[in-house]
Amino acid sequence: MANPVALVTGASSGIGEACAVALAGAHRPFDVAVHYRNGAASAEALAARLLKEFQVRAQVFQADLAQTGAAAALVERVAEQFGPPTTLIHSAGQFLEQPIAFTKPEDWDALFETHAFSAALLAKAALRYLRKSAEGRIVFIGSLAGSVGLGNAAAYAAAKGALVGLCKSLALEVARWQTTVNVIAPGYVETPMTGGHDETQRARNLQTITLGRYGRPEEIAALAAFLCSPQAAYITGQTIIADGGASLG
């Protein structure tokens, strides 16, 4: 039987890349549509790795999800050129560290477009295909910032927080098709987004993490792969925090 098809956005690096690897290497492997905005070489290298290491199909798809109509067009290209998706992991995103007083309206627009609006539009387009499967899965990669806030990053935290309400509402709507929708909210993870943290900032952050370290992308991806598996069929509408205990206070 053919493998199910998963669309993973933001798969050229970080958590998105790790999610693609986790799905390809799952007990029931997925063929993976590798989305990227920038970083074509990294996306192509990942697709080649998935084929070589896991013997699954993988194909790259470029799209700037901040552009109007890009999300729906991406899903349709995947369906036509690669196969109808039964799983969506939305990991694409961008970060802006800036006091709210200096955050411009266009900054808010860009962050909400990439994180929240594109999540809704990707899900809307994908549901045309997910609802035909008894194992439709949607996983949004959120952030701990969406639950507890983040100083000098109000627009980012608000955009990630919007995923929580979207997840719960969408889970209610799509339950009739046995499709599940969940959010993973990571804390600090070793990704290009946190790669710019200097020693002082890392030391300050580590003091807030109960386990005393940043997470690894593979740890977040393992949770995402589980939520996309048949074993997670009874979990929906949830925001699962993976932060090393940072939210414990």
What angle in degrees, to the nearest 10, is found between the helix axes of 154-174 and 105-112?
30
> Active site residue: 36, 129, 156, 188, which one?
156
Distance (Å, whole) CA 114 – CA 145: 16
Lay out the sheet containing 238-242: strands in order across.
Answer: 58-62, 31-36, 5-9, 87-90, 137-141, 180-186, 238-242
* Those residues with Cβ within 8 angstroms of residue 182's Cβ, 6 or more apart along the chain or in another chain: 138, 139, 140, 167, 171, 227, 235, 236, 237, 238, 239, 240
Question: 15 with 220: CB under 8 angstroms?
Answer: yes
Pull the structure tokens for residue 229.
């598996």
Q: What letter represents residue 189's amino acid?
A: V
Distances (CA, A) of 52 to 3, 25, 47, 100, 222: 16, 11, 9, 46, 20
Phi/psi at 37 (5° precision): -100, -55
Distance (Å, whole) CA 110 – CA 94: 9
Is residue 156 annotated as part of the catalytic site, yes or no? yes
Residues known to be catalytic: 156
